[in-house]
Amino acid sequence: MKDEVQRVVLSLPATAEYVDIVRLNLYGVASKMGFSYEEIEDMKVAVSEACNNSVLYAYKQEQGIMEVTFEITNEVLSITVGDNGESFDSWGKVGEDATLHDKELDEVQIGGLGFYLMQALMDDVSVVQNVGQGTKVIMTRRLMKSEEAV
């Protein structure tokens, strides 16, 4: 039998004041699933980066909404942060094999470090952009069962 997916969906103003609400919800969902404190802290940083991109770039000083969806199965937490604003230019330049290796820090586009941070802290990160329909950042983290990490 396939894992049943449970969803928690938040629709919030795309402003910095609401990012903490997303982090609190992430804490509640992830701790209920059995993630460790350290894993949850890593995920909170990644989710904050995704939310901050919506807050800073999507709506260009206008009011907008960000939608955060937590999809929960027995072993996987998938978090989608979406907006209906303008796309963030550097997403399109970041391929799956993008890396900061062989680059000087001043070569990295402002805002571009957040994507690398998300990749480092989550198991999978993808960005979906549709012109005129906004951007979705999808981040996944697998729950490691009680075996001790080596």
Distance CA 109, CA 39 (A): 28
For 69, 101, 103, 125, 126, the CA distances from 78, given in Å and listed in that order, are 8, 27, 30, 10, 11
Give the pLDDT confidence score for residue 86 in this predicted structure.
77
Instruction: Answer whether residue 56 shows pLDDT above 50.
Output: yes
Distance CA 4, CA 73 (A): 6
Which residues, other chains included, contact 34 with Cβ-Cβ below 8 Å and sequence gap of 6+? Answer: 143
Eight-state DSSP code of residue 141: E
Give the pLDDT confidence score for residue 59 in this predicted structure.
83
83-119 pLDDT, tens per residue? 998 765 544 444 434 444 444 545 545 456 788 899 9
Higher pLDDT, 96 or 65: 65
Give the pLDDT confidence score for residue 146 in this predicted structure.
60
Q: pLDDT band at residue 61, thresholds of 50, 70 and 90?
A: confident
The bridge status of strand 6-13 relative to strand 65-72 is antiparallel
Instruction: Answer whether residue 2 shows pLDDT above 90.
Output: no
Give the pLDDT confidence score for residue 131 in this predicted structure.
76
Q: Which superfamily is assigned to 6-142 in CATH?
A: Histidine kinase-like ATPase, C-terminal domain (3.30.565.10)
8-34 pLDDT, tens per residue? 999 999 999 999 999 999 999 999 999
